[in-house]
Structure 1
Amino acid sequence: MDSITLDDVHKDKLSRTQLIFAATIGNALEFFDFTVYSFFALTIGKLFFPTMSSYGQLLASVATFGVGFVMRPLGGIVIGAYADRAGRKPAMTLTIFMMALGCMLIGLAPTYAQIGVAAPVLIVFARLLQGFSAGGEVGASTTLLIEAATPANRGFFGSLQFASQGIGVSIGALVAGVLTALLSTEAMLAWGWRIPFLLGVAIAPIGLRIRRRLDEQAPHADSVARQPVVDVLRDHGDRALLGVLLTIGTTVTAYVVTFYMPTYAIHELHVPAPTALLAGLVSGVVTFVVAPVSGLLSDRLSRRALIFWPRVAVVIAIYPAFLWLASEPGPTRLLVTVGGLSVLLALQAAPSITMLPEMFPRAVRATGMAIVYSVGVALFGGFAQTIATWLIRATGNVLAPAWYVMGCVALSCAALPFIRDLTGLPLDD
């Protein structure tokens, strides 16, 4: 029997650490970009849609944010299928390169005053490119994570994907907050808003280098699906539909609580910008801390239970939370509201992002995960800010976003009883 040396153990730990970092850095970069775009939505609206009213500028800006999600399903189909045929590593290398290109286009884009209507067109193109890459990123990277885990720690490994979103949000909020505090309004409009997007470009080469060095065994020819998209829709269509429904609850809560809330606090409740940005930082830190804990609990208890009960709590708590915040807007109430809702979000999101790839066999796992996640996010998450902004305008009620979250989360819970819980079981059992 071969002996295992300490050097072997060290190499195994190093390889595992490298894999986790490689799998999560793209997701962190994606959410860094989402965060800074959301926080600078008002600034981007003024620069790229100056002919509109202040409400129109905000709506156009958040709609441009949402339009990138239209490309997510296509990216999920194309890159997810590529990941199942060629391997997770090549797909992940491609997605991080495309994300960096999108960041560069936004960071260097001329404004409306410089090139006219071509300016918002360029921003929309950059968001479409980012949406395409993000559609394939989550499927390939999350699949790589859970396939590297054991049945006893798969929930924890999967939770690291959502924890990485917290890192991206935290860094994005911190960068935006520092810029807002240090720069004047004129400097921010002139060039300050570009800095975070260009920082995103600088992060990408690190991720590319790590992913290229990642060791991954090439898929065996016998285990590769020739038409993974067709196989998912034909043989696993019911699972795909349930997966989309499962995704709705997490994505709507995330995009309203984490990304829309700072803009909402500034535009609707007239909370100072630094306070609103601090709320984003709180949400990111809470996500980073709570998600792994939820992942560990989901390995010991049940993924279904860890998803269901926090979602029930969201449905019960979000309207009173919005009501309490709107009745007397201020730093303390905003931070408590965002922090509390972020705890409930992280508790349900970590096991959810693990359960999605568990639903599909290995040959089509990345494709299935990518399609399900990208469609769910595209239909309900990407335009959550647009819908929330429109609902407030249409109803005249600043509490309207809470009703949208309640309805979507309740609908999402209906899928849970029909999804097999593989807690503690082999992936392909």
Structure 2
Amino acid sequence: MTARGRIRAAAQVASGNMLEMYDFMVFGYYAAAIGRAFFPSGDAYAELMMSFATFGAGFLMRPLGAVILGAYVDRIGRRKGLILTLALMSIGTLTLALTPAYVQIGLLAPLLVLCGRLLQGFSAGVELGSTSVYLAEIATPKTRGFVVSFQSASQQVAVAAAAAIGVALTTVLSPDHMTAWGWRIPLLIGCLIVPVLFFLRRNLQETETFKHTRTPPRMAEVLRTILVEWRIIGTGILMVLMTTTSFYVITAYTPAFGSRVLHLSTRASLLVTLCVGLANFILLPAFGALSDRIGRRRLLIASTVLALLTAWPVMHWLVAAPSFEHLLAAEIWLAVIYSAYNGAAVVYLTEIVPPRIRTTGFSLAYSLATCIGGFTPTICTWLIHTTGDRAMPGAWLSLAAICGLVAALVSRPYAR
């Protein structure tokens, strides 16, 4: 594949990954409104917790999707797998966008929303793995970090797009209208771009690595290999805990944290999230390229040490004097740490997993980690409510950084 072909393929693959994260971000940004629509209780904390719990429930389906869809993709090919996950994801998004509120259909409303989130989680269990493995296999060894970074960079486009739409909607709609129906608009916008994404992915070429696989692995072989390589999967889980926790702290949780905890305006919190997405979009490819030059492990160790030294103090500084400027500064600093770590971690995970089960192994490690990291908004909300310390997200991020540091110290690339 030519250099131009790699760039075109990277854009085609990343576009679908962008839709997955866009849907996740919209749910996180409007968790309070979604909680009021589908889980009305009269208690704002309970509604928010139920909404965040439903948000997190989707992550519980990821390991199942990773094993079932991952093994299927390792058999049918990367290209067909990317089309399949996009189809499943689209159905889940449409369910969330069109389900009537609790006051209209009662208990059926939260059940349908939960089913939509579970389907999204099932497809997402292998979407990110398929995307990352595809990009890793079309890249050259000297540009692998840079090319794979576009998987995460595409997610930042989703973060920024969802936040920008949110800023625009809060400008033209009243808070009551946003709570009543305005939050559905971003989801419907996501549904409208699905046909374009299907067209882009249909034209993908299969990777040479998969073409040269003479006999694709069967499910039994995949499961046996996962059991044999449990240390690699475990290392991958620790590695991904850091990247998913830091990602959700600075993106999905920021609007709720800014408005509910720091008492800033919703518009200001979404604007900060927009800036974080744009910063990550620039930084991720830069750090991915840096990992190609200096090595993955050096970047992983440096970024986790920075997180351990600064996350807790930065959050205490922020909550001591909340303001738009302080929230922006704190989130951008954490975004630098996240981008440095993620720029090396995602590509490194493709390099430590055996090639025959690369999609399944990557997806399983990532999915099991997101079963914890994906609940970051729920955990942070609970920690603050229980302890009364508004800086607890910094403690949660520090714990994730310890996991990432251990993974970086014990991991080794798989011998090719």
2:392 matched residue in structure 1: 400
Contact 2:157–2:277 under 8 Å retained in 1 = yes
- The residue matched to 1:110 in structure 2 has which SS? coil
Matching residue's letter, 1:143: V
Q: 1:8-407 counterparts in 2 under 5 A?
A: 12-216=2-206, 219-220=211-212, 222-227=214-219, 228-378=221-371, 380-407=372-399
Contact 2:71–2:218 under 8 Å retained in 1 = no
- Alpha-carbon shift at residue 41 of structure 1 (Å): 0.7
Q: Between the two proteins, what is the percent identity of the paired residues?
A: 37
Contact 1:258–1:342 under 8 Å retained in 2 = no
Deviations 1:127-172 (A, max 9, x none): 0000001001011111010000111111111111111111110111
Matching residue's letter, 1:402: G
Is the counterpart of residue 417 in structure 1 residue 404 in structure 2? no
Tell me, in whole angstroms, the C-alpha distance in 2 between the residues paired with 1:386 and 1:92: 30
Contact 1:223–1:363 under 8 Å retained in 2 = no
Tell me, in whole angstroms, the C-alpha distance in 2 between the residues paired with 1:350 and 1:13: 20
Deviations 1:168-192 (A, max 9, x none): 1011111111111111123223321
Tell me, in whole angstroms, the C-alpha distance in 1 between the residues paired with 2:261 and 2:213: 56
- Alpha-carbon shift at residue 359 of structure 1 (Å): 1.1
Contact 1:163–1:287 under 8 Å retained in 2 = yes
Matching residue's letter, 1:314: A
- Alpha-carbon shift at residue 290 of structure 1 (Å): 0.2
Contact 1:303–1:421 under 8 Å retained in 2 = no
Matching residue's letter, 2:340: L
- The residue matched to 2:206 in structure 1 has which SS? coil
- TM-score, normalised by the number of residues in structure 2: 0.96
Structure 2 residue runs without a partner (length 5+)? none
- Alpha-carbon shift at residue 260 of structure 1 (Å): 0.8
- The residue matched to 1:222 in structure 2 has which SS? coil
- Alpha-carbon shift at residue 109 of structure 1 (Å): 0.9
Contact 2:300–2:404 under 8 Å retained in 1 = no
Deviations 1:19-48 (A, max 9, x none): 101221122111111111111111111111
Contact 1:39–1:259 under 8 Å retained in 2 = yes
| Of 20-29 and 231-240, the range deviating more from structure 2 | 231-240
- Alpha-carbon shift at residue 17 of structure 1 (Å): 2.7
- TM-score, normalised by the number of residues in structure 1: 0.93
- Alpha-carbon shift at residue 231 of structure 1 (Å): 3.5
Tell me, in whole angstroms, the C-alpha distance in 2 between the residues paired with 1:15 and 1:309: 34
Aligned length: 413
